[in-house]
Structure 1
Amino acid sequence: MKSKNQPSLINLKLMVLSFFFLLVLYVILRSNYSSFQPIRRSSYPSFLSICNKIPPSLATSLVHYATTNVTPQQDLYELSRTLRVLEKKSPCNFLVFGLGFDSLLWASLNHRGRTVFLEDDKNWMKMVKKQMPSLEIYHVSYETDIKQADELLYKGKSGECKVVGDPRSSKCPLAIKNFPSIVYEIEWDVIMVDAPVGSYNRGPGRMNTIYTVGLLAKNKEDGETDVFVHDIERKVEDTFSRAFLCDAYITEEIGRLRHFNIPSHRTIASSHTPFCP
């Protein structure tokens, strides 16, 4: 999820800053509107002081992106799609695979919610943590190699990989069982898959990550999970997301971002739902 390139850096940075200012204005207006009560003239000063206070997480993000020469990996259109979902669901539980220059942005968009990041590069993790100490980050490790993609896709067609349940008890070789316990214990509302590394035939690839995310979403107690997969122009991200997050659950594709809305398979109404409808 580290920065891949920085084309038109200045223009993109201006767009991101404008995006942030609009976000801050939206959050403030929404907060004031929902909590508005008729007030006496004598109480105006305290009311105005509340109106003018920007949430700390958003203020930190504005300062960060205004004073650095880096920009988020996703473009404005891709960011806007995730923002629309977070507008409806936040504060919520948001799981993000990978750390990058957009991490502070995700945490800020989920204002008052819980945003958790998973990263396998310890050095990169320390660097980001130093610059953004407020982020909740956990180190993870992957045991696959992207060169195993075809083999894993074949294994994923077996019956044991079509069983929905807790990934820790799954018999499917694609299920990841060594994540921090928090990953399995929290009911996630939104999940972003933008890691691990899996380009140019190097790195662990996202095969098992995508499969495990599908289990987490389908095994949710109730409700739907919005899952975003980035870099869908690549073979692994495209093939594995369609196979294990399911074509039927795709709601939209914008640029290199694919959005899935996955319902729980544990509800009574969907108790006999196939792995992919």
Structure 2
Amino acid sequence: MKGISSTKLILLQPSTIHKQGGNGITTSISILVSHHHRIWLIAFLCFFTFASLLTLLNTTTAVRDPNGLPSSSSSAAAAVTSAGLSSSPPSLLPAPVFDALVNYAASSNSSGKMAEGDLRTIAGVLRRQAPCNLLVFGIGHETPLWRALNHGGRTVFLDENEYYVAHVEGRNPGLEAYDVAYTTKVRELPELLDAARRQRSGECRPVQNLLFSDCRLAINDLPNQLYGVAWDVILIDGPKGHSATAPGRMSAIFTAAVMARSTGRGHVDVLVHDYDREAERVSSAEFLCTENLTAATANLAHFVIRSGPTEEFCDNRTAVASSSSQPARGATASS
């Protein structure tokens, strides 16, 4: 009887449930089915999103090789790289282009241009050194030429006229130039030299950080990062020095001499234009030194300055005194 009673209970349970909540079960099943559909839909969307992101990442990675070039160009890039390593550096200006630029500039009839001999001397230094770190005092007719000949290097120009700096930058996009506030006058040459000699072991010493110098001849208002650059070539063709009230190039020559000895790499080429004028000639003898003079034309002097610690600008002080005592000449030469 217990077995029969148990059987009845088992048979009646579904029926009872059906009678009491048949509609509720149907509704629950529908909701469950709908809920399952939503779960599958959400899962499908998540999978699709993940697959799309994964495909995008794989495509981006595949398109670029380690050098950042398209994978389809990898073999070509490798060939170009191999060719470049076996020949001249890729940033070096081709010799025919270099010569064409120099010849065009030398044959130009523009007023205010540099004499052909001086231009070719400077170009010869850049031919040996470029691409390099080139600092130029003065902006003028040859500015685009110096920048072009130093293709692949860094060329920085300094000028006393901020408006002219802005004008030249506008005509030469990408040109790096800064204005300098000079506080000297050509007529102050004797006074400035005497002060520099008195402070030779102090503020006007040959090796120092010009940014913190109180020497009257030191240019210390340039952008800070320029004082740490290891300059390879320094060309002094400014500021103006054709009259007694012009700024003169005493500060430029002193600053170049200190930069060459303080941050240069081994030996630094320093070229002084308008060397026939007293301020340029005497200041060069005082700070660049005759023992470092390697070549000179009527208007251009080429010094090679050895970098490194030193307590004196020049080894031969007698030569400096002799040069300083020479009479002034070329005071009216073009700036």
- What's the TM-score, normalizing by structure 1? 0.71
* Shift in Å, 1:212: 1.0
**2:206–2:261 contact (8 Å) kept in structure 1:** no
Does residue 276 of the first structure (1) align with residue 276 of the second (2)? no
* Shift in Å, 1:173: 2.6
CA distance in 1, matches of 2:288, 2:265: 17
The answer for the alignment partner of 2:294 in structure 1 is 251
**1:180-238: CA deviation from partner (whole Å, max 9, x where unpaired):** 22320211000000111111212211111111111000112531110000001111000
SS of the residue 1:84 aligns to:
helix
Amino acid at match of 1:119: D
SS of the residue 2:139 aligns to:
coil
Does residue 116 of the first structure (1) align with residue 159 of the second (2)? no
Does residue 224 of the first structure (1) align with residue 282 of the second (2)? no
The answer for the alignment partner of 1:35 in structure 2 is 87
Return the structure number with greater relative CO, CA threshold 8 A, min gap 6.
Answer: 1
The answer for the alignment partner of 1:200 in structure 2 is 243
Which aligned pairs between 1:127-138 and structure 2 lie closer than 5 A?
127-138=167-178
Aligned residues: 224
The 3 A distance-change label for structure 1 pair 77 and 178 is: same
CA distance in 2, matches of 1:75, 1:169: 37
The percent identity for this pair of structures is: 36
**2:157–2:177 contact (8 Å) kept in structure 1:** yes
The 3 A distance-change label for structure 1 pair 65 and 132 is: farther
CA distance in 1, matches of 2:184, 2:260: 22
CA distance in 2, matches of 1:136, 1:61: 20
CA distance in 1, matches of 2:229, 2:298: 30
* Shift in Å, 1:170: 3.1
**1:72-117: CA deviation from partner (whole Å, max 9, x where unpaired):** 7322211221122112211100000111110011011111111110
CA distance in 2, matches of 1:71, 1:92: 29
Instruction: Specify which of 186, 193, 199 is matched with residue 229 of structure 2.
Output: 186
The answer for the alignment partner of 2:136 in structure 1 is 96
CA distance in 1, matches of 2:105, 2:274: 23
Deviates more, 1:198-207 or 1:256-265: 198-207
Does residue 86 of the first structure (1) align with residue 86 of the second (2)? no
* Shift in Å, 1:133: 2.2
CA distance in 2, matches of 1:114, 1:83: 16
The 3 A distance-change label for structure 1 pair 225 and 72 is: farther
CA distance in 1, matches of 2:133, 2:237: 17
The 3 A distance-change label for structure 1 pair 222 and 112 is: closer
The 3 A distance-change label for structure 1 pair 76 and 246 is: same
SS of the residue 1:200 aligns to:
coil
- What's the TM-score, normalizing by structure 2? 0.60
**2:101–2:145 contact (8 Å) kept in structure 1:** yes
Larger of the two Rg values belongs to structure: 2
Which aligned pairs between 1:51-62 and structure 2 lie closer than 5 A?
none
More helix by share: 2
The 3 A distance-change label for structure 1 pair 83 and 138 is: same
CA RMSD of aligned residues (A): 3.1
**1:15-71: CA deviation from partner (whole Å, max 9, x where unpaired):** xxxxxxxxxxxxxxxx999639xxxxxxxxxxxxx9xx989x97x969x969x8626
Q: Which runs of 5+ in 1 are unaligned?
A: 1-30, 37-49, 267-271
The 3 A distance-change label for structure 1 pair 241 and 65 is: closer
